A and B are shown apart, each in its own frame.
Chain A
Amino acid sequence: MYKILRRKELNPTVTLLDIEAPLIAKKAEPGQFIILRVDSEGERIPLTIADYDREAGWVRIIFQIVGGTTEKLNHLKEGDFINDFVGPLGVPTHVDGLKKVAVVGGGVGCAIAFPIAKKLHNMGAEVHSVVGFRNKDLVILEDDFAAVSDKMMMTDDGSHGTKGLVTNALKELIESGEKYDEVIVIGPLIMMKFVCALTKEYGVKTTVSMNPIMIDGTGMCGGCRLTVGGETKFACVDGPDFDGHLVDFDEALERGSMYKPFERHAHEEACNLFAKEVQ
Chain B
Amino acid sequence: MPNMSLKKNEMPSQDPNVRNKNFKEVALGYTKEQAMDEAARCLNCKNKPCVTGCPVQIDIPTFVQHVAAGDFEAAYEVIAKSSALPAVCGRVCPQESQCEGKCVRGIKGEPVAIGRLERFVADYHNENCTEKPVKPESNGHKVAIIGSGPSGLTCAGDLAKKGYDVTIFEALHLAGGVLVYGIPEFRLPKAIVQKEIDGLKDLGVKVETNMVIGKVLSIDELIEEYGFEAVFIGSGAGLPRFMNIPGENLKGVYSANEFLTRVNLMKAYKDDSATPIMKAKKVAVVGGGNVAMDAARSAKRLGAEEVYIVYRRS
Q: Does A119 contact B (CB under 8 A)?
A: no
Please tell me which one of the listed residues B173, B249, B251, B278 contacts residue A84 in the complex, with CB atoms under 8 A apart. B173
Residue among B173, B238, B262 making CB contact with A220, cutoff 8 Å: B238
Residues of A within 8 A of B267 (CB): 41
B171 & A221 in contact (Cβ 8 Å cutoff): no
Question: A215-B258, A218-B171, A220-B261 in contact; A86/B242 too (CB < 8 A)?
Answer: no
Query: How near does chain A come to B146, taking the closest CB pair, in angstroms?
Result: 12
What number of A residues sit within 8 Å (CB to CB) of B? Answer: 41
* B266 contact set on A, CB distance < 8 A: 43-44, 215
The answer to whether B216 and A88 touch across the interface, beta carbons within 8 angstroms, is yes
Question: At the interface, yes or no: B276 with Cβ under 8 Å from chain A?
Answer: yes
Asked if residues A215 and B261 are in contact (CB atoms below 8 Å), the reply is yes
Interchain pairs with CB closer than 8 A, number = 96
Is A96 among interface residues, defined by CB-CB distance under 8 A?
no
Instruction: Determine if B239 is an interface residue (Cβ-Cβ < 8 Å).
Output: yes
Residue of B nearest to A260 (CB): B276
B236 located at the interface, meaning its Cβ lies under 8 Å from any Cβ of chain A in the complex: yes
Q: Which residues of B contact A87 (CB under 8 A)?
A: 212, 215-216
Q: Is the CB–CB distance between A215 and B242 below 8 Å?
A: no
A215→B274 contact, CB < 8 A: no
Known A-B contacts A44-B266, A87-B216, A225-B242; A216 and B249 likewise in contact (beta carbons under 8 Å)? no
Partner of A255, one of B215, B239, B249, B274: B249
Interface residues in A37-91 by Cβ distance below 8 A to B read: 37, 41-44, 68-69, 83-89
Query: Least Cβ distance of B175 to chain A in Å?
Result: 13
**Other-chain contact of B173, A37, A227, A257 (Cβ < 8 Å):** A37
Contact with A along B66-83 (1 / 0, CB 8 A): 000000000000000000
Q: Say which residue of A69, A84, A216, A225 sits within 8 Å of B261 (CB atoms).
A: A216
The distance from the CB of A143 to the nearest CB of chain B, in whole angstroms, is 32
Q: Which residue of B172, B215, B239, B248 is within 8 Å of A234 (Cβ)? A: B239
The 7 closest A-B pairs by CB, nearest first: A262-B276, A222-B255, A221-B258, A86-B210, A259-B276, A84-B173, A222-B240
Sample 15 A-B pairs with CB under 8 A, ordered by A number.
A23-B216, A41-B274, A44-B173, A44-B266, A68-B274, A84-B173, A87-B215, A220-B261, A222-B257, A254-B250, A257-B251, A258-B252, A258-B278, A259-B276, A262-B276
Residues of B participating in the A interface, judged by any CB pair closer than 8 Å = 171-173, 181, 209-212, 215-217, 236, 238-240, 242, 244, 248-252, 254-255, 257-258, 261-262, 266-267, 272-276, 278
